[in-house]
Structure 1
């Protein structure tokens, strides 16, 4: 039986983090749990480290989980003047590894957190292995490109808050409805940790929009040259029903790494780790532990 229960894992994100890490542009919130080899978890946009809460009970008896909230998200500290961008997030992840004085670390990234992690850790001798869950391939599809194109539309921030605060609207497929195979998961803790902050806090909403507007497709295109340099075991885990990063793109991405494998999770979408946490953890753990 796992020593960390799902409810206890969720409660980690309802209280203050263990510490704050000054990364030179705001402060990263850090929560660490478990024992064993070090693993750093990097969340995507517009969620926070709490997106990994359901994985933690499966990991805590095997590895030490370092879960961060990047500036603009979760419990991180920032203000209206804090420089926030995808490039700064890449720098922040490198700085976190420095500040934690990790000599050997596996990194798990989801969605844009996977893109950030790859840019941050490529060529870093401290990287032991990597897990990538539903993240950008070097050639993303039309759904992702159309979303990125919309970020500069007038009223985007207000629209983001409007959608986040209305359960019926966000369940529409073209909005957020197909981010999960099971649309009911847009409610409950997902709503509590990610959607309500966007709906209720102008500062959080402005920060999330600020980061998204800095997204440069060059970061995606550069992955083609980055992947061959990530010379450690890489485990890809994908929701079979992910419309943002279709599984065929994940299959094509496997051979771009020196040593990568893919596990496809049936009945899951973009947030496979929230829909099928036990299966995602089972796919990731051998690589994170160095047992492959």
Structure 2
């Protein structure tokens, strides 16, 4: 592992961003670390670029890591007029590649960030490879995912989400957030600091998260069936064996939908496999990200 430590990674995200990428209606928080081929990381909901902090010590000696907080998340700049939605996030990823002038880049996406990334870069000749970590499969999502999503339009859902996020014992329940990890205690500590605390201490961030969640439409998943055959670069899937939101069986079937893909399954890990088993996830990704696969 690099001399760049987990503590260094945490401080990278506690400190102000390197710069903001102007979208016209918001500012994408941007951080950069490492040396080597360029890799852009796209996070999912309800997290930010800090979710990749766990991978950085295993990657920075091999690749240049470009880390963004999509509008409405983390350190990004946004207000009530910002058009926060999945479509806006897709456009934000494209804009980041343009503004950063990344003309030979691998893209890594986790959870809905993997779905967003696939929509954003399909057919882009600047993309040399993709890494997908525990993300939406084209053949549909699990009952667990649907059950969570169904709550988003319930009256008072926002207040309930913020309140539950603030209660460690409640949020560790498997029917709340606990089954996102094999070890539900990982919802505390850094995960709470970076991702949950904003939901219960900042009405601005909670409302932004709700707006993004409510913009989700199942068509984004259905359209992946047509997108996958068009992603003609090496694709590395990395999956937590215990992921109940996107079960690994769906991921195994998804491998054959790409022209060039493979999968590594990480034992004793769930939806956030990269946070639970960062060394194994980084090892699975590196050959594809560096072009040595």
TM-score, L = length of structure 2:
0.99
Q: Counterpart in 2 of 1:56?
A: 56
1: distance between equivalents of 2:234 and 2:255? 11
SS in 2 for 1:24: coil
**Per-residue CA distance 1:11-41 (angstroms, 9 max, x = gap):** 1000100000012231100000001100000
- Structure 2 residue 227 is the aligned partner of structure 1 residue 256: no
1: distance between equivalents of 2:106 and 2:34? 14
> Pairwise mapping of residues 75-224 of structure 1 onto structure 2 (< 5 A)?
75-138=75-138, 139-224=140-225
Q: Counterpart in 2 of 1:270?
A: 271
1: distance between equivalents of 2:151 and 2:196? 19
Structure 1 residue 144, shift from structure 2 partner: 1.1
SS in 2 for 1:173: coil
2: distance between equivalents of 1:43 and 1:19? 18
- Is 1:25–1:84's contact at 8 Å kept on the other side of the alignment? no
1: distance between equivalents of 2:81 and 2:157? 20
SS in 1 for 2:170: helix
Q: Counterpart in 1 of 2:6?
A: 6
> Pairwise mapping of residues 23-38 of structure 1 onto structure 2 (< 5 A)?
23-38=23-38
**Per-residue CA distance 1:191-214 (angstroms, 9 max, x = gap):** 110111111100000000001101
Unaligned runs of 5+ in 1: none
Unaligned runs of 5+ in 2: none
Across the two proteins, how many residue pairs are aligned to each other?
292
Runs of 4+ deviating beyond 2 Å: none
**Per-residue CA distance 1:82-103 (angstroms, 9 max, x = gap):** 1100000000000000000111
- Is 1:3–1:60's contact at 8 Å kept on the other side of the alignment? no
1: distance between equivalents of 2:109 and 2:144? 20
- Is 1:37–1:289's contact at 8 Å kept on the other side of the alignment? yes
**Per-residue CA distance 1:162-188 (angstroms, 9 max, x = gap):** 111000000110001110001111111
SS in 1 for 2:162: helix
Q: Counterpart in 2 of 1:73?
A: 73
2: distance between equivalents of 1:75 and 1:207? 13
SS in 2 for 1:175: coil
How well do the aligned residues superpose, as a CA RMSD in angstroms?
0.7
1: distance between equivalents of 2:242 and 2:142? 14
SS in 1 for 2:84: coil
TM-score, L = length of structure 1:
0.99
SS in 1 for 2:264: strand
